Structure 1
């Protein structure tokens, strides 16, 4: 009716007591009655502001909600109702728990919309949020690396472009067909050099010099030299083209590369120059010790194997479990070796001469190896041995399952991140109109980041505003509606 007020009734002072106000919110089709007594516990939140804005006019009301029915006092929000059911708990319990199946990033955006501080989120849910943030950072990093590989900055000089080309050729097998060929060749050279190192120790394939010493066959020696030449060329090219040479030198895998190459040159120097400075026998011993260091080159396979990289990371994440394993074994070894030494002293032909010597017996027994060089001869000693290997099996089996879980979790996570990065790139290509110029300047600046040079290719890509939008590639706020799914 024309004479009916469209705003709530007020008292004689021109305002209604907030504690007595009852409002209805409709979030994504789910209606809920809320009371001012509860909402005013957190006055800075959006729902508490709804109560205080009723007397401020429609401009104030519609700045807080999507729609409003003054007759029902019902506020409409096009937001996720499942997330709202969790967020509303803050007014009753003082903390928020995120339901299983809700995307942590979407839930964080919902909390920001309802103006609820993240400190009210329970610690267990904060862990999920931090993990999701790390995943998005990793996806953004991978996408940025791929985009950098695609770009050619015309402002760079010829040497910089050549340096970047060599770096992609040697370090990024997925960047081009030539890079894949080089990666396969490097992998083959590693295998060939490892096989040659093993074959060189077979007496039938060795030759005898004039002094009666066994030496590697010249053919195997030539193959070894060719492999070392390839490794040296590969390392030098990677070092020259590296954008950060200090980080390159101190990197673990690059240190392994140096240890795989260095013995050859040191042996060469000692063979030709060392004879004049020391005895020939000492030179040969030094050369033999250095040649053993060639086994380090097998670790170069980790550069070309995702499985080995995953195993290394899983072991890093499993230091606690590995520490428990070593602690269990150490306690068992000490206890059972002391018991074995004590029980075997009554036997005249005992093999347990001391407790430290018994450590070896306890190690091979608890790990079920059992060489048989030391064994008990008394009945009590045999019972002690049976107990020790049973306890060893249990001690080893207990921490193994978490280590395997770490490996599987990391391996699956890497596959998911790789797929997500490729999916984001496909969406970027789709929105760019198949490579045609159409990207927004502001979006591209958000993509590349402020203060960073933008190569010419950046104008050809448009940031994807899909449901899997990577927030780290843009500073803009993108809130999802209840109609959008979280992938």
Structure 2
């Protein structure tokens, strides 16, 4: 038993102003004037109601002992210790070890508004709510993968099957094979793009200019045909076409495919003399650079790259801080280097904007050596600049790594929780089916008394 201390106030309370409540086996004595600070709460209604009104009492508590004048509640006593603080401090803190979602249910039971939660607890609660929403979304995706047959029409079933085949590598062996083939196609396309620039492997065209080998172009065309078919199948089977079109990864896929067909069109127009050949060649060279976007297609098949991307998004503040430090340092040290090196007749620092390049490679500890100071003060300035660069780069690294580790572990926990939730749902459905079959095998008699007779 523990008793909430009675506050100092002018008029003393009679015995009727006190109530004893039993919360999960823990007896607590409370005072009426304190509870009436929140008159709409359950405890305030309890202290103000008549002990003779059994209906009201039964609606407010689980049980009542008239002899001891004690009200019983089958609730969590640890959560109640936090609830009672609102009557004394006008705010509530969720103590460590208590689930915030369950605590909100406790507040609803005791009829305490959520506005009394402290700001730190509100942020903690919103974080947990976001986690629950994420778990619910993962559970929904898992259930959609498991329940393909619920689609009403054959077209919907085919669309769902094709979507799982193209987007869910773990759903079946053919889906895994398609994912591996797509991954290998990306690698082959990237290798062909790099190898095609080797002069020894290029061939001369009719004008004597070096172009890609026909074999490499054939491999490139085959890879693009695969990418195109894959993209169209994913688009056709997508349940939400608008969401599919606005997805960043799908935009990257489209940007990786589009230049190939634009180059074919421009080449065709150039051979038909509808455009100037020089303009066509410039456009083709510009579009060939966009083939680099194919490398980003690897992120769709790698959960590690996706986790790294999300971690970098969460670390935008730290990255911005790093860029701000480096920007200020580059401006200051390049200006100092330009000023200190002006006295030397063979100075390499012609202007402050030109000194930016030196400051960048110095603060990042690269140091190409193409621009370097020749005076003593300039060398001292260079030493201070790369020491400051090392410190500026090292400071935000730990928060960025910590964000990556926290996000990665959180995703693992959420995936495990989602799978556990699905298993519980399956066990519950099996239990209900088993109970229903038992009721059908042994139906209850309509009139037990007549059966006994």
Q: TM-score, normalised by structure 1?
A: 0.83
1:108 aligns with 2:104: yes
Tell me the SS of whatever aligns to 1:33. strand
Deviations 1:79-133 (A, max 9, x none): 1111111111111111101111211101111111111111011010011111111
Match of 1:31 in 2: 27
* Matches of 1:87 and 1:68, distance apart in 2: 21
The residue that corresponds to 1:322 in the other structure is 319
Q: Which moved further from structure 2: 329-338 or 148-157?
A: 148-157
Between stretches 156-165 and 84-93, larger displacement belongs to 156-165
Instruction: Give 2:165's match in structure 1, choosing from 166, 169, 176.
Output: 169
Larger deviation, residues 89-98 vs 61-70: 61-70
Superposed displacement of residue 78, structure 1: 1.7
Pick aligned residue for 1:301 from 281, 298, 301: 298
Equivalent position SS for 2:430: coil
Structure 1 runs not aligned, ≥5 long:
1-15, 440-487
* Contact 2:337-2:355 within 8 A present in 1 as well: yes
Which structure 2 residues correspond to residues 187-206 of structure 1 after superposition, within 5 A? 187-206=183-202
- More relative contact order, 1 or 2 (CA 8 Å, 6+ apart): 1
Distance (Å, rounded) in 1 between the aligned partners of 2:294 and 2:108? 52
**In the alignment, which residue of structure 2 is the partner of 1:362?**
359
On the 8 A contact 1:143/1:424 being kept in 2, the answer is: yes
| Superimposed CA distance per residue, residues 205-258 of structure 1 (whole angstroms, 9 cap, x where no aligned partner) | 222334332222222221111110000000111112222222322221111111
Contact (CA 8 Å) 1:329, 1:395: kept in 2 or not?
A: yes
SS of alignment partner, residue 375 of structure 1: coil
Q: CA RMSD in A?
A: 2.2
Report the CA distance between 1:56 and its aligned residue: 4.0
Give the corresponding residue for 1:266: 262
Contact 1:18 1:51 in 2 (8 A): no
Q: Which runs of 5+ in 2 are unaligned?
A: 1-11, 437-453
Q: Does 1:229 align with 2:216?
A: no
Q: 1:83 to 1:268 in 2, by over 3 A?
A: same
Output the CA distance in 1 between the equivalents of 2:383 and 2:237. 60
Q: After alignment, is 223-232 or 269-278 more displaced?
A: 269-278
Which one has the bigger helix percentage? 2
Report Cα offsets for 1:144-194 as digits up to 9, x if no partner.
222223334667333232222212211222332222221111111111111
Give the corresponding residue for 1:456.
Answer: none
Contact 2:82 2:92 in 1 (8 A): yes
Q: Which structure 2 residues correspond to residues 130-209 of structure 1 after superposition, within 5 A?
A: 130-152=126-148, 156-209=152-205
- SS state of the match for residue 24, structure 1? strand
Q: Please say which of residues 152-161 and 204-213 is displaced more in the overlay.
A: 152-161
* Count of equivalent residues: 425
Conserved? CA contact 1:18–1:36, under 8 Å: no
Three-state SS of the structure 2 residue aligned to 1:348 is: coil
- Summarize the Cα distance change of 1:89–1:19 in structure 2 as closer, same or farther, 3 Å threshold: farther
Instruction: Find the counterpart in structure 2 of residue 462 from structure 1.
Output: none
